[in-house]
Amino acid sequence: MEQIDILQWMNRASLEMIGQSALGYSFDPLLDNSEPHPYSVAMRDYVPILSSLVFYREYILATLMKIGSPRFQRFVVDIIPWKKIHQLRDMVDAMHRTSVDIFEAKKKALEKGEGAFEARGGGKDIMSILSTTFTFAGTDTTSNGLSCILHLLSTRPRVQDRLRLEVTEAISAFGENISHDELVSLPFLDAVCRETLRL
C-alpha cells in the first residue's frame, strides 16, 4: 500500500485555492510529477528553520540587525557562513519575489482595463506585505484543517459513509457545481467541519 503525505498535498491545494480565489494567481498545477512552487516550499520550511534559530534570532541577530542600512544588513547575511541563515534568506527572497510578481501582474491588469494603480517602494509596499501575510496565514490554517478532517474521517468509517451520502445526494440535487450557500446548508457536512475545527 502506498503512503501519501496528505499534509503536503493539502498545503499545495490550499495555496492554490487561496492563490486563485484571492489573488487570481496559480501557484501549482497540483500534478503528481510537478514540482511545488518555490513559495510553497518556502512556506513549508520557514517555521522549522525560524524555530531552530530562536536563541540566535533573539539575542544575536536582533542586535546585528540594528546596525547599518538594509543593504549593509543584507551584505552581512550574505557573507556569514551559516547555512540556516542562508536558507532563511532564500525563503524570504522566494516569498518576496512571488509577492512582487503577483503585485506587478495585478498592476498591469488594472492599467490595461480598470485604470491607474500605483506601486510604492518597488514591491515593498503594503499590498505586497499583505499579500504575503494573508497567503501564508490562510494556507497554513486551511491545509491543517483539511488534513485534520481527512484524518478524523479515515478513523471513523460510519461518519465518512454518512457524509459521503449527504454530499452525493447534494450533488444529485444541485449538480456538480454546488454553490457556497448550498454547501453550508448541508447539516452533517457543517457539523463535521465545525467539530473538527473545534478540536
**160 CB-near residues (< 8 Å, 6+ apart):** 153, 154
Q: What is the mean pLDDT of the chain?
A: 81
Sequence ranges of the domains in the chain: 6-155, 157-199
Percent of the chain exceeding pLDDT 90 equals 23
36 C-beta neighbours (distance < 10 Å), count: 18
Checking 106-115 for CB contacts under 8 A at 24+ apart, the result is 106/23, 106/24
Question: Are residues 18 and 138 in contact, defined by beta-carbon separation less than 8 angstroms?
Answer: yes
pLDDT in tens, 77-134: 899 898 999 999 999 999 999 988 888 888 887 888 754 444 444 444 445 555 555 5
Q: How many CA atoms lie within 13 A of 63 on its CB side?
A: 4
pLDDT tens-place string over residues 43-77: 888 889 989 988 888 888 788 778 889 899 899 88
Give how far Cα 184 sits from Cα of 11, 42, 167, 181, Å. Answer: 23, 33, 11, 5
Q: Chain centroid to CA 73: how far?
A: 28
Question: How does pLDDT run across 143-197, given as a tens digit for each residue?
Answer: 778 888 888 888 999 999 999 999 999 999 988 888 888 888 999 999 988 888 7
Mean pLDDT of 16-40: 82
Q: What does the DSSP 8-state code read for residue 23?
A: I
| CA–CA distances in Å: residue 14 to residues 28, 91, 144 | 10, 19, 9
End-to-end CA distance of the chain: 29
pLDDT of residue 137: 61
DSSP state of 36: P
Please check whether residue 16 is in contact with residue 27, taking contact to mean a CB–CB distance below 8 angstroms: yes
> In sequence order, what are the residues at sequence separation of 6 or more whose Cβ sits closer than 8 angstroms to the Cβ of residue 187?
166
Instruction: Provide the grid cell at 146.
Output: 483539511
27 and 83 Cβ atoms separated by less than 8 Å: no
Structure confidence at residue 121 (pLDDT): 42
pLDDT in the model for residue 118: 43
The better pLDDT of the pair 33, 53 is held by 53
Give the Cβ contact number of residue 61 at 10 Å. Answer: 18
Identify the sign of the CA torsion 138, 91, 150, 35.
Answer: positive
Residue 116 host element (H or E): none
